[in-house]
Structure 1
Amino acid sequence: MNRRTLHDGWRLSAVGGPVPDDLAVRHVPAEVPGSTHLDLLAAGLVPEPYLDSNETALAWMHRVDWRYETTFDAEAARPGESVELAFDGLDTVAEVELNGALLGRTANMFRSYRFDVREHLRDGANELVVTFRSALAYAEEQERALGRRPRAYPHPMNAIRKMACSFGWDWGPDLQTAGIWKPVRLERWATARLAAVRPLVTVVDGTGRVEVHVEVDRADDAELTAVATVGGVEGTARVDGTTAVVTVEVPDVELWWPVGHGAQPLYDLDVVLKADEEVDRTSRRVGFRTITVDTEPDEVGSPFTFVVNGTRIFAKGANWIPDDHFLTRITRDRLARRVDQAVAANMNMLRVWGGGIYESDDFYDVCDERGVLVWQDFLFACAAYAEDAPLWEEVEAEARENVTRLVSHPSLALWNGNNENVWGFADWGWAEELAGRTWGLGYYTDLLPRVVAELDPTRHYSPGSPYSPGREHPNAETHGTRHEWEVWNRVDYTHYRDHAPRFCSEFGFQGPPTWATLTKWVHDEPMTPTSPAFLLHQKAEDGNGKLDRGLAPHLPAPEAFEDWHWATQLNQARAVAFGVEHFRSHWPRTAGALVWQLNDCWPVTSWAAVDGEERPKPLYYALRHAFAPRLLTVQPRDGRDALVAVNDTDETWSGEVALSRQTFAGEELAAVRLPLDVPARSVTTLELADELLSPADPKGEVLVATTADARAAHLFREDLELAYDPEPLTTRVERVDGGYRVDVTATSFARDVTLLADRVAGDAEVDDALVTLTAGETHSFLVRTAATPADPDELVGPLVLRSANGLCAVRA
């Protein structure tokens, strides 16, 4: 087998549509893999798409047709030799030609394509041309043919198999990509090649079993053998026609566990195809574990609890979107940084959301290594989808290919049919608009579960998110999975406590990106929440209105933009942490909390914890605290507040919890010590004495609960009413290896003390944030940066060292 990449010498030109005059006859160098926007940007022919209002200025690209072309030297096919042109991904509606001969047409971004070129390849120079039609024009044409179906956004992203958020979303730009977005190769082979390798991994009584399903493409009738080796054990099977199943049993395997539950040993799996000699080979990494989802009805309703190696898991995590709108800029290192951030925030699951892509192999590899479970959506989101040709056939092809591609990854925990479409049909008026036409149910309850049952019977399939079994409402509280969007859209975040779902797979609250990210990409003068470029980077419907209404019950709405920026970031962090703590306190009834969302794909005001420049927002630190292995939280129980201790470790949490009701100035008014004994992976509720819950001055007192490894501070009023000391902090800054140590001492109770270090240096990142201090306490922040500020005390300047106290002082 000879594989040769064809990534050099490509040129790009516009060949149809509203092309600007200065581009009409231009050929520019093209990167493959790549996209048209990035090629034009590199050539200096378009402005940076993410900057200011340039997204709008580039809308003409939606309707342009593009041509990629290159010339490569090769030899003509020899007798008995198979020669194929292999494209791992084309975005999206393309015609492929070699030496003037049409090889085929494509209309699915999520599939790979192979073309037999034996008759068209010639000795010497060969001309390869890929012409892309406007995806928007094609989608509109398909919608006219199939009938309009409801969708959440203006463009018909539901009429084409392309990344839905390429057409814009309530956190993403409308920059419709086109290009050869994955590798392209010329492959030459004789006898046979491995067309697909699908290992199904199970564990029974400590013995790992790998059942390797092999499919081959043949060039002749030679006798073939497939050999699989894993863990030093070899298995062999004869290829019967074009298929074989090789079974390897490995005794005494080390189990793969989610992070926080054990180690992540990975085993190399090598598969070799032999005739008289080796003709092809490939390799995978596998991990031995069992995984299912408990959905058996109980006294509450229908649970949705992940069970790994027989252990019930509380899923702590977030939803994942493509990490850059321009997908070809996403590297393995970038993915590793993002997943490492998730792990550092005590997450053990990421949900690959259905409006994006089936992620790269790198993403799943990184999750395998870190022990991060992956919930994988099939790619349907917030819309009704026709079940007619050609969509049905395209969906089946992409599902089969991607299930086969991803099945080997131990991190892959669940296949999920869609995002919000079953809910949409139930509640969003779709039935009336559809008037009996298909809307996707056949995919979610017939096609996709059949594909998963056939190709990956080792994993659970869920028809959708949210989803409830039987005739229950799809977003029911007591059944299956739930999305909680009344908070953010309509009600205050304290209403998270109205529901104790079985698994909350989406909930969240918005906040702006970090200051360094915002000011790099938006240059309005003056910058305000309603200035034009800032608004273009706020995609949510009435987003700023919801930010302000969400802020109003809790924190003042400052006039200065810098204060508004901090206040809305803080309120985002508070809101989401409030929900996480509530959900965790109801384990095992509630078995998962997946925040919307971990990451951003560009610089934007959004629900993300990590912004588009990879910088953690205050929300990120709030999630790290709220997802901590051991958590203390004050929650209402039976009409009064109680202390809930959540122990998500394998050891009993024993000791004592010290409770103190004290003034903001530090005077202790009531003190109680309670024994603490929380079994592993359990939750315990402790009753609180009246003296702890009965402040003499509700505006100036706090209840603090402390153990050796956890703390909770419970206030008796909202910040708006509290008598904070407006300047409760003294500081000391010292240079240390890799940056600075900032010692902050509270002279009075100080809530959510944070260093917005990126305001001083773009690379500055603090090790913790949202730290609450009682009077007399000191906390040391470590700021990592390569920069050397002219004055280190900039790190504690009034716009850098922040707290809730300071916001209330602004109000006063």
Structure 2
Amino acid sequence: MREINASGQSWEVKGFWPWVPIKGTSMELGQELMGVTEWMPATVPGAVQYDLYRAGLIPHPYKDMNSLACEWVENRWWMYRTTIRRPEPAGEKLELVFKGLDYEAAIYAGTKLLGEHKGMFHEAAFDVTELLRQSETLELSVLLRHAPDEMAQIGKTSDTFTQKSRFTYKWDFSTRLVPIGIWDDAVLRVHGAFSFGEAYVRTEAAAIAPDGTGAGRIHVNARVEANRADAAAGLALTAECRDPDGKLVAARELALEDDGAASAVFDIEGARLWYPNGYGEQPLYEVKLILRGGAEKLDERTYRVGIRQLEYVANDGAPEEALPYTVKINGRRIYIRGVNMTPLDHLYANVTDGQYAWMVRLMKEGNANLVRVWGGGLIEKKRFYELCDENGIMIWQEFIQSSSGVDNIPSKRPEFLALLEKTARAALADRRNHVSLTVWSGGNELMSEPNKPSTMDDSNLAILKELVREYDPQRLFLPTSASGPVEYITEEKGLGHDVHGHWKYQGDPYHYELYGENDNLFHSEFGVDGLSRMKSLRKFLNEGERRPKAMKDSLVWRHHGEWWDTLARDEAMFGKPGDLAVFSDASQWMQAEGLRFILEANRRRKFSNSGSIIWQLNEPWPNVSCTNLVDYYGEPKMAYYWTKAAFAPLHVSLDYRKLKYAKGEPFRRLLYVHAHEPGVAVSVRAEVLDSAGSVLHRAEYEGATAHERALPLGELAFAMPETADGLVFVRLAYRTEQGSAVLPPYVFSTADGPAYEPAWRLDGAGLEARQAGEWRGAADAATVYRAAFELRNDGERAALHVHAEETTDGFWMEADEQYVTLFPGETHTVDIRCVRKSGGGLLAEEAAAAAAIALPQVRFRAMFGGSSGRG
């Protein structure tokens, strides 16, 4: 079997009022009923909204409040058309396959109705063998009806009836912009007399050695299907296995059962095992299935698989009734350092492989090891799962259902359950072959009653549990996230098993008291909100909106993040910001501060707490403010870098319970060392400094990292000093044989007014930045350009949270560290990495401009200050 991609052909699309394409002519006048648009070029995969924007028929939907002017699109019918040719050779059977239709479609060959389809996440396949035998070409039309009127975030889960991505109907991080289109590839499958059907490749490991190898086993199950009633037998099925270096390590003939089933087991001694990011490498073996009829190759399938042992165990000290939230791979308990991922774009059909690669790169570089693919979004395209296999990012995949605010009860509507089962079967049959897939979940925040997560007893979730048992019994199925016994984080002890919340900074000191004293077993969703960077805000806010505002005072701001108003919070901490750039800096600082404390507090309880999954990594459209670490344009925020530090394989943290102190107040708090590997000798230096860089107190600590728990290293004790501006910095640095690091400082205050108001005046006036050497990297789209920059503070006060910005807008940028605080006379070297932008859809304009830019340009600035130095 071979696939001929029809997506790259010339497609057109045209809009109509509902039912007009069926009727065609006026009953009264007999004349043609014209469309609401003319035929126009279409992107496939793609969404109608992008094609309308390219044609000038709608404004840019992501700017200001323009999406409101685009809502009519979801209420029209849309016809796609193209011509496909008979392939040579034509084989025995030709199938026209749509891997993703969005949402309800009728497919025609000429005037012949091939069939109808409903649902985004299972294929629509049609036999066109006879049609293409009769004609060399096929005039193909796909009629997509208007979008179903599904529930937005505020609605009734019990009344959901589709398997359409629901965030597009309006969520707290998105607007209402409901895509219609062919959202995944359209292909022509050319089959021989026989071809492969469903296949399942799974792995296991035993006798794991200290060097990360073990006795590996690969199980292969496949099915062969006949494509012609009188097809002759005499088939030969071969399975080959190659190691990560391409060396053939096993090959054998598989016996075919009467029903077409075949299976094999490969035992691989000394197998190189797959580990999550931060715990080891991600070697992938290649398994190839080859089907022959005599000398003719009839079909071939290739799978890249990781060999690993997968288990799930109870948390330390967990109640008997608690679910097993700790993942164990190759005999090692894995502490979850996770992120929740929404779809990468409202127009998800136009997301490119390059965007997936950038987001997975940010996960890996950010020290994450798990991503939760949220149930209000998508079963993502296949390339995403391949990238997670390659980079050691475990996947928690939810089925497509989510809470709705009014009620959160899983839908029992028959049409919904039928579609849910189709989605689940399709997702399970394919995604189970990815080693990164680690957890299945029934959906997001499903609750049988307020604050009570639904359980396996719910008939909806019981269906999914049984399907996971049938298709993928080696993996854990959780009924929902959170999974209870209460939904939301609570101060009450013993109830916080797997919990969600909160999504806001809880104030000083309550934020630190709540999270510092919590006993949850697993924190699978929580966040803190913060503004986007000015570079991004300028792209979608008109000039009149670029000043500090509360959401209640601006319809435009409200349209781009109503729930995530931080003005009052940030004024309480900093005073009134003078301009939007200052407001953005302050808001990002508080987001980073709030998240860092939660992550460190959870990690101090390893493995009583099995991990943290931040809400959220990304956003699908540009928000003024949101809980994301990376904005719509691919720009990491300050919170991304403080999360990266808190997630590092070796990290040192300070346990504290507030930010504001009285002058002279005693400070006595423990320091902790967090590490993946036990027995690593570590030296830690703690310094208490003022804004001028004077060291007011210093302490040294020695220890060796503990086995599967955080190590209390010692107490940091001093009297809170009186400083010129009221700011007190506690900076931690560590050294091991493998290297050293200086961590982002903890900033405390004894100021009389807002705690961080004195920070306004730390504008980095003495900051200097110099590029050390040329950019390294070839001029192609996939290259990572690298350069080192030397930073120096020649001023008299601290240069606060110094960070870089790529100024050409042609490159995505990340760094080994950002938001570095330099005290007077200090120097620091930062390594910057840039990737040429390759976004799709509404980001394609940036990608097109990027092609003409030779090299990145980078500028550094201190928080609340100007810029210094370019490269």
Aligned partner letter, 1:634: L
Per the alignment, residue 542 of structure 2 pairs with: 523
2:782 maps to: none
Pair 1:687 & 2:681 matched: no
More off after superposition, 31-40 vs 680-689:
680-689
Deviation per CA, 1:146-181: give whole Å up to 9, x if none.
Answer: xxx896359999321111112221112311111111
Distance 2:833 2:193 in 1: 57
CA distance in 2, matches of 1:296, 1:527: 48
Q: Which residue of 2 aligns with 1:572?
A: 591
What is the total number of aligned residue pairs between the two structures? 774
Q: Is 1:88 aligned to 2:111, yes or no?
A: no
Q: Write the mapping of 1:747-758 to structure 2, written as runs, cut at 5 A.
A: 750=798, 752-755=800-803, 757-758=805-806
Contact kept, 8 Å, 1:744 with 1:779, in 2: the verdict is yes
Aligned twin of 2:85:
73
Per the alignment, residue 779 of structure 2 pairs with: none
- Cα shift readout 1:719-773 (whole Å, capped 9, x = no counterpart): 7346666456522233442378352327566374223635786758573322234
Separation in 1, partners of 2:359, 2:487: 35
Once the 2 structures are TM-superposed, how far is the Cα of residue 6 of structure 1 from its aligned partner?
Answer: 2.6
CA distance in 2, matches of 1:486, 1:707: 31
**Structure 1 equivalent of residue 116 of structure 2:** 105
Q: Give the secondary-structure state (helix, strand or coil) at the position aligned to 1:613.
A: coil
Map of 1:675 onto structure 2: 702
What secondary structure, in the 3-state scheme, does the structure 2 residue paired with 1:253 have?
A: strand
Is 1:357 aligned with 2:358?
no
Instruction: Tell me the equivalent position of 1:45.
Output: 57
- CA distance in 2 between counterparts of 1:777 and 1:15 reads 65
Task: Report the CA distance between 1:598 and its aligned residue.
Answer: 1.1
Is the CA contact 1:270–1:282 (under 8 Å) kept in the aligned structure 2?
A: yes
2 CA distance for matches of 1:793 and 1:81? 60
Alignment of 1:441 with 2:469, yes or no, is: no
Secondary structure, in 3 states, of the residue corresponding to 2:528?
coil
Pick from 368, 385, 410 the counterpart of residue 347 of structure 1: 368
List gaps (5 residues or longer) in structure 2. Answer: 21-32, 208-213, 243-248, 658-665, 776-786, 835-849
Give the counterpart letter for 2:434 in structure 1. H
Q: What is the CA deviation profile of residues 287-337 of structure 1, one whole-angstrom value per residue up to 9, with x for unaligned ones?
A: 000122213783556351111111011111211111122223222222112
1:10 aligned residue: 11
Which residues in structure 2 correspond to 1:703-722 (within 5 Å)? 703-708=730-735, 709-711=740-742, 713-717=745-749, 720-721=754-755
SS at match of 1:292: strand
1:433-582 aligned at under 5 Å gives the runs 441-444=458-461, 446-468=462-484, 480-485=497-502, 487-488=504-505, 493-494=511-512, 495-528=514-547, 529=549, 532=554, 534-535=556-557, 537-541=559-563, 543-544=564-565, 547-582=566-601
Conserved 8 A contact 1:537-1:603: no
Contact 1:109 1:162 in 2 (8 A): yes
1:744 paired with 2:792, answer yes
| Partner AA of 1:415 in structure 2 | W
Residue number in structure 1 paired with 2:819: 770
What do the CA deviations read for 1:426-455 (whole angstroms, capped 9, x no partner)?
A: 316999xxxxxx9993232x1111111111
CA separation of 1:430 and 1:782: change in aligned 2, threshold 3 A: closer
- Correspondent of 1:656 among 683, 693, 704: 683
Taking the TM superposition and a 5 Å limit, the aligned residue runs for 1:275-354 are 275-276=293-294, 277-295=296-314, 298=317, 302=322, 304-354=325-375
Rounded Cα–Cα distance in structure 2 between residues aligned with 1:156 and 1:42? 38
Aligned to 1:390: 415
Residues 326 and 583 (structure 1), Cα distance of their counterparts in 2 relative to 1, 3 Å cut: same
> How far apart are the structure 2 equivalents of 1:295 and 1:620?
30
**Distance of 2:859 and 2:393 partners within structure 1:** 39
- The structure where helix makes up a greater share of residues is 1
Conserved? CA contact 1:570–1:619, under 8 Å: yes
Deviation at 1:391, TM superposition (A): 1.7
Alignment-derived partner of residue 166 in structure 1: 168
- The answer to whether the 8 Å contact 2:219/2:263 transfers is yes
Cα offset, 1:575, TM superposition: 1.3
Conserved 8 A contact 1:630-1:710: no
1:750 to 1:40, Cα distance in 2 relative to 1, 3 A: same
Residues 760, 97 of structure 1: CA spacing in aligned structure 2 closer, same or farther, 3 A cutoff?
Answer: closer
1:208 aligned partner: 216
Q: Judge which range, 372-381 or 548-557, deviates more.
A: 548-557
Q: 1:629 to 1:603 in 2, by over 3 A?
A: same
Q: Which residue of 1 aligns with 2:177?
A: 175
Structure 1 residue aligned with 2:633: 613
Tell me, in whole angstroms, the C-alpha distance in 2 between the residues paired with 1:501 and 1:400: 33
**Aligned partner letter, 2:312:** V
Residue 96 to residue 250, structure 1, CA distance change in 2 (3 Å): same
Q: What TM-score do the two structures reach when normalised by structure 1? A: 0.86
- Give the aligned residue type for 2:425: R
Q: State how far apart, in whole Å, the 2-side matches of 1:676 and 1:109 are.
A: 54
Instruction: Please give the per-residue CA displacement for 1:494-551, whole angstroms capped at 9, x wherever unaligned.
Output: 333242321111111122222122112221424233575742552343x22xx13432
Which residue of structure 1 aligns with residue 387 of structure 2?
A: 366
Q: CA offset at residue 284 of structure 1? A: 0.7
State the alpha-carbon separation in 2 of the partners of residues 792 and 274 from structure 1: 56
Distance 1:677-1:754 versus aligned 2 partners, 3 A rule:
same
Contact 1:647 1:682 in 2 (8 A): yes
Which deviates further from its counterpart, 270-279 or 692-701?
692-701
Q: CA shift at 1:114, angstroms?
A: 1.2
Separation (CA, whole Å) in 2 of partners of 1:393 and 1:126: 32
Deviation of the 1:670 alpha carbon: 4.0
Name the CA distance, whole Å, in 2 between partners of 1:798 and 1:716: 18
Which residue is 2:769 aligned to?
733
Q: What is the CA–CA distance in structure 1 between the aligned matches of 2:257 and 2:293, rounded to whole Å?
A: 10
For 1:178 and 1:58, the matched residues in 2 are separated by 12
Q: Given the superposition, is the C-alpha separation of residues 17 and 573 from structure 1 closer, same or farther in structure 2, using an over 3 Å criterion?
A: farther
Q: Distance in 2 between matches of 1:770 and 1:295?
A: 37
1:591 aligns to 2:591 (yes or no): no
SS in 1 for 2:160: helix
- Given that 2:805 and 2:860 are in contact with CA atoms closer than 8 Å, whether structure 1 keeps it comes out as no
Aligned equivalents of 2:749 and 2:578: distance in 1? 23
The two structures, once aligned, show a CA RMSD in angstroms of 3.6
CA distance in 2, matches of 1:377, 1:490: 32
Counterparts of 1:354 and 1:764 in 2: how far apart (Å)? 28
CA distance in 2, matches of 1:73, 1:128: 10
Residue 283 to residue 3, structure 1, CA distance change in 2 (3 Å): same
Q: Distance in 2 between matches of 1:213 and 1:764?
A: 41
Shift, 1:676, TM fit:
2.0
Classify 1:684/1:190 alpha carbon distance in 2 versus 1 (closer, same or farther; 3 Å): closer
1:701 shift after superposition = 4.1
2:136 alignment partner in structure 1: 124
Quote the residue 1:152 is aligned against: 154
Aligned partner letter, 1:574 = E
Check the 8 A contact 1:210/1:248 in 2, yes or no.
yes
Shift of 1:776: 4.2
Q: 1:525 & 1:412 partners in 2: Cα distance?
A: 46
For residue 795 of structure 1, report the CA deviation from its aligned partner.
5.2
Q: Deviations over 1:703-733 (max 9, x none)?
A: 4443223446445437734666645652223
- Compute the displacement of 1:689 (Å): 5.8
Q: Tell me, what secondary structure is at the counterpart of 1:136?
A: coil
Secondary structure of the residue aligned to 1:676 is strand
**1:378 pairs with one of 360, 379, 399:** 399
Give the secondary-structure state (helix, strand or coil) at the position aligned to 2:271: coil
**Using the alignment, how far apart are the partners of 1:98 and 1:440 within structure 2?**
46
Q: TM-score, normalised by structure 2?
A: 0.81
Aligned-pair distance for 1:490?
Answer: 9.0
Q: SS in structure 1 opposite 2:645? A: helix
**Which AA in structure 1 matches 2:218?**
V
Q: Hey, what's the Cα distance between the residues in 2 that align with 1:307 and 1:594?
A: 17
